[in-house]
Chains A and B, each alone.
Chain A
Amino acid sequence: MIDLSPDRLASETAPHRRHFPALTQKVGDRPLVYLDTAATALRPEEVIEAGCRFCRRHDANPHRGLYTLSTEATEAYESTRRQIATWINAPSPASVVFTRNATYALNLVARGLEHQFSPGDEILLTEMEHHANLVPWITLTKRIGLRLRYIPIDESGRLVLTDLPSLITPKTKVVSFAMVSNVLGTINPVSAICSQAQKVGALTVVDAAQAVGHIPFDFEALGVDFAAFSAHKCYGPTGLGVLVGKADALERLEPLETGGDMIEYVDYESATWAPVPERFEAGTPNAAAAVSFSEAIAFMRSLGPKTLRAHDVALTTYALEALSTLPDIRILGPMAPESRTGLVSFVDARVHPHDLATILDGEGVAIRAGHHCAQPLHRRLGIAASCRASFGIYTEPKDIDALIHGIEAARKVFAT
């Protein structure tokens, strides 16, 4: 049972907040209230310091030099890979591919599989996808005549799985879907979808960008072929994403980029590829980011998945209740906090999302306003844009109070 008293929540959050230097700043003359963790989580001091330390000491190319610095850089980079594998229970370190971000990881899957598709093959997505898990497939569809199909959502923002047996057919080659919606917050039933997909031999891909760091994530237990996520959404640096894959699934992918570090043997006429995962990591990697992310993982592991999840649920409960007290607010997604992660999107019938975000910014409150890279979902919901407040381990009840206060202030400005 979660104790929802704001005082209790605030006192539990206080020690976490001390890790985040960004929280000490002011926006104009107001203390920063950061409610956009679903876009980018703030970084703990340890994470920032680890990146800096690498730059000061080991700033050399991993995998290249024979000298000490390069060897240290290689070890630092590869140890993060091993750490990730342990953390998310990946089959092996080799099943962890470093990318620029989750978007690149999803592109790598879609385009890396292109040579395996034939016209008429079907890809199954959902109506709640982020553009990152939509546009790569749309692009493929145009090139090779694939058919995209979609698992629909219901009015509460949950996937409707009753038609799944008719949506997944022998023509289905890939089922790719968000583990958590970045707009609705809905946690999707991964295993129910995967078991259906496996019956027809379709590959399964989860966009786990909104899941990792929020809900327990165990790659092997999920039973998917691929998962993608970004470091910067779970207290790590920008510029680093991860594609995790089963060994045989990764072997089916063609590399997206070629060049240094991804080869085995090159002559003037031909080249052979390095093994997985180096095959997918052409060029000098973002070693400083990887080293930095290592500290983010340590930070999340020190808190533990239960604490991360409980904090999300408590804040979401508090936010849903607070927003529900305001008239003319439409909350998107399921109303049960346990069905969602720490983000709440809403539409204020009285104030346009962009006007609301601007006025909130004047109060020091940072929220997201727009379509959150999910235009089709917004159209499906009958709206052009929405506001989104999202939470991290540093979010406290008074941040939500500031949001509510800001909404009330905006309403006064726009009252007719």
Chain B
Amino acid sequence: MNFNELYRDVILDHHKHPRGNAPLASSNADSSGLNPTCGDDVTVRFLIEDESVRDVQVTGHGCAISTAASSMFAEKAKGLRIDELKILTERVRTLLKTGEVPPDLEFGDLEALAGVSRFPIRVKCAMLPIATAEQAIEGFEQRRAKAVTVTTEESP
């Protein structure tokens, strides 16, 4: 198996110079994820305002694939609306599964993850920041829904 397919230049660049890991002044959608088999961990923090990702920070410890995926994801996620972000994470899942870049979305550097699909054992490395981000958004929406419900019940 040719590992150049996996460790494309753009992936190595994100691994060596990760983006989107600067601390945020505040955040309202945070989550942490762990890959128990390798011990890799990731923390995703979003600042969501007006249904959009105002800012994002992805940090963690892990292999080149998970750190690069984190960096590329952070770069791409900033500025997206929540619904766009959900489509993005779903499409990245497809990309990692099939290796084919879905034609209906601008992936940016994340496209380089297509090569990971040929290394099934490494898919979970790339999935770690993606799944953690999904979890953060899910938590954010659940809290918001709950808050809305409570408000409705309290109104006279």
A residues neighboring B (CB under 8 Å): 28, 352-355, 358-359, 361-362, 369-371, 375, 378, 383-385, 413-414, 416
Contact = CB atoms under 8 A, between A and B. Distances in A.
A362 B39 contact: no
Contact of A355 (B16, B36, B61, B65): B65
B39 A358 contact: no
A370 B6 CA distance: 19
B96 to A, nearest CB: 15
Interface string B117-134: 001011001000000000
Given A384-B40, A385-B38, A361 B64 contact: no
Contact of A384 (B15, B61, B122): B61
26 contacts: A352-B62, A352-B64, A354-B38, A354-B40, A354-B63, A354-B122, A355-B63, A355-B64, A358-B3, A358-B6, A358-B121, A369-B38, A370-B37, A370-B38, A371-B37, A371-B39, A375-B39, A378-B39, A384-B38, A384-B41, A385-B38, A413-B3, A414-B12, A414-B15, A414-B64, A416-B16
A416 B1 CA distance: 24
A362 B65 CA distance: 16
B125 to A, nearest CB: 7
Contacts, number: 55
Contacts of B41: 384
Contacts of A378: 39
Nearest to A354: B63
Nearest to A373: B37
A403 to B, nearest CB: 16
Nearest to B7: A413
Interface residues of B, number: 23
Contacts of B62: 352
Nearest to A384: B39
B2 A362 contact: yes
A355 B121 CA distance: 11
Main secondary structure of the interface of A (DSSP, over half): helix
A378 to B, nearest CB: 7
A307 B37 CA distance: 35
A413 B29 CA distance: 35
Given A354-B125, A414-B15, A416-B16, A28 B1 contact: yes
Given A358-B122, A384-B38, A416-B16, A352 B63 contact: yes
10 tightest CB-CB pairs across the interface, nearest first? Answer: A384-B39, A352-B63, A362-B3, A354-B63, A355-B64, A385-B39, A355-B63, A416-B16, A359-B3, A385-B38
A162 B44 CA distance: 45
A385 B6 CA distance: 21
Interface string B39-83: 111000000000000000000011111000000000000000000
Given A358-B122, A416-B16, 12 more contacts: A352-B62, A352-B64, A359-B3, A362-B2, A362-B3, A370-B38, A371-B38, A375-B39, A384-B41, A384-B61, A413-B3, A414-B64
